[in-house]
Copies of this chain bind each other. A is one copy, B any other.
Amino acid sequence: MRYLTAGESHGKQLTTIIEGLPSLMPLTKENINESLLRRQKGHGRGKRMQIEKDLVDIVGGVRHGYTLGSPIAMVVYNDDFKHWEDVMGEDPIDDDQKIRRVVSRPRPGHADLNGAMKYGHRDIRNILERSSARETAARVAAGAVAKTLLAHLDINIVGFVREIAGIQAKEYPEMSMDDRVKISEESPVRCLDAEAGQKMMDAIDKAKKDGDSIGGVCEVYIEGMPAGVGSYVHYDRKLDGRIAGAVSSINAFKGVEFGIGFEAARKNGSEVHDEIAWEEEKGYYRKTNRLGGFEGGMTTGMPIVVKGVMKPIPTLYKPLQSVDIESKEPFNASIERSDSCAVPAAAVVMEHVVAFEVAKALLEQFPHDQFPKLKKAIDQYREEIRCF
């Protein structure tokens, strides 16, 4: 399974093509719209999120509610494009029109300057339109298809917020998946810990008032994965490695960890590993899950626990210094938009990005032409390894 996305932030549309899905899997627009909607929510989002409601159109690969096996194409239209047609149209324009609109001031913390140098653009709009986090809507669409596949395989996934601006939520290792989903959905900051959640909202409000922005830590939690998915035989087939790569490619993410993650540097080996037990009914299991569901690049059958850190959004009312690429004069970096905290939305993005990698690994390992056969094969495997 592979996918490509295309589209600029203020362009006509975002487009996603996914290739390699099984046939005969139930899939509807609603599966994807639900995910797109969740991405747009969250205390601290700017105005744009409220104006535009992302809705997907499935334009290939699905017929009468089922996948065909052929590539799936999805479109999220930009309703606002009519106001941007002059700026973002694909047709050639006169040179004098161009000059008027040029963005020559790169914002720190964005792709602006490096991208302009790499691609030789002197109008930085040519960079920022694609490097914008708007593209994550296209990735969420891809991930929503993956999530649907996982759900039909009894593998459930949720992303929530563990920390914002240094305020850490409590851990709930025993909380059920249903509760994780429900509570995070009801929290305006996608936090399982109501008390911490309130403090996070206060911090967001304060940041907004101060014209500053704040970051945080998201967690993605997956239940139902069988053991032995991924592989140790070659480094690029390790599933945790692939997840880390995908998470680190989300806009503004600066780190990723599994299970206790960086804490593993501060503990003895006897406190870090998960002892192995077996019971006839449950099969092999671990008494703890410090390693976050991975050993040797493969799943252990325990929940996958992966965290990612998002830096504060760099577009601020409290500006950062930069340099105009034409005049080479310093200036205070302009504001392109005004979210003071996008961590709750980032948790949704991360959930979908991880879902895609996990689904991809399952499709690589199990027969994937027809969804019912895939499901049967995974169920059989679950039974087999129980008594391995």
Which residues 326-379 of A sit at the B interface, judged by CB distance below 8 A? 328, 330, 365-367, 369-370, 372-373, 377
Closest B residue to A357 by CB, please name it.
B245
Which residues of chain A in 268-288 are interfacial with respect to chain B, using CB atoms and an 8 Å cutoff?
268-270, 272-278, 284, 286
Min CB distance, A319 to chain B, in Å?
9
When C-beta atoms are compared, the residue in chain B nearest to A247 turns out to be B244
Of the candidates B17, B216, B255, the one whose C-beta lies within 8 Å of that of A15 is B17
| Closest B residue by C-beta to A3 | B4
Where chain A touches its partner, the secondary structure class is mixed
What is the CB-to-nearest-CB distance from A11 to chain B, in angstroms, rounded to a whole number? 6
Task: Please provide the chain A residues from 208 to 240 with a CB less than 8 Å away from any CB of chain B in the complex.
Answer: 210, 212-217, 227-229, 231-236, 238, 240
Does B268 lie within 8 Å of A73, measured CB to CB?
no
Q: Are B388 and A377 in contact (CB under 8 A)?
A: no
Interface centre among A106, A256, A316 (most CB of B within 10 A): A256
* Residues of chain B lying within 8 A (CB to CB) of residue A255: 255-258, 261-262, 264
Instruction: Report B-chain residues with C-beta under 8 Å of the C-beta of A296.
Output: 110-112, 114-115, 127, 131, 251
The answer to whether A111 touches B265, judged by C-beta atoms less than 8 angstroms apart, is no
Does A58 touch B at the CB level, under 8 Å? yes
Residues of B contacting A213 with CB < 8 Å?
268-270
- With a cutoff of 8 Å between Cβ atoms, the chain B residues found around residue A228 in the complex are 114-115, 117-118
* Docked pose: A135 CA to B17 CA in angstroms: 14
- A63 located at the interface, meaning its Cβ lies under 8 Å from any Cβ of chain B in the complex: yes
A19, A217, A384 pick with most chain B CB within 10 angstroms: A19
- Interface membership of A173, Cβ < 8 A: no
Number of copies: 4
| A214 close to B60 (CB less than 8 A) | no
A344 CB → nearest B CB, Å: 13
**How extensive is the interface on chain A, given as a class?**
35 or more
Contacts of A115 in B (CB 8 A): 228, 232, 296, 298
Does chain B have a CB within 8 A of A44? no
Interface status of A320 (Cβ within 8 A of chain B): yes
Please pick, from B70, B93, B164, B295, the residue contacting A233 in the complex, using a CB distance under 8 A.
B70
Report B-chain residues with C-beta under 8 Å of the C-beta of A210. 268
Say yes or no: A71-B298 contact (C-beta < 8 A), given A91-B64, A276-B321: no
**In the complex, which residue of chain B has the Cβ closest to the Cβ of A101?**
B64
Within 8 A of B (CB), among A293-326: 295-301, 309-314, 316, 318, 320-323, 325
Q: Which of A314, A372, A384 has the most CB of B within 10 A?
A: A314
Q: Is the CB of B24 within 8 A of A265?
A: no
Would B298 and A29 count as touching, CB distance under 8 A?
no
Q: How far is the CA of A257 from the CA of B255 in the complex (A)?
A: 4
Bound Cα distance A369, B227 (Å): 13
Q: Is the CB of A15 within 8 A of B70?
A: no
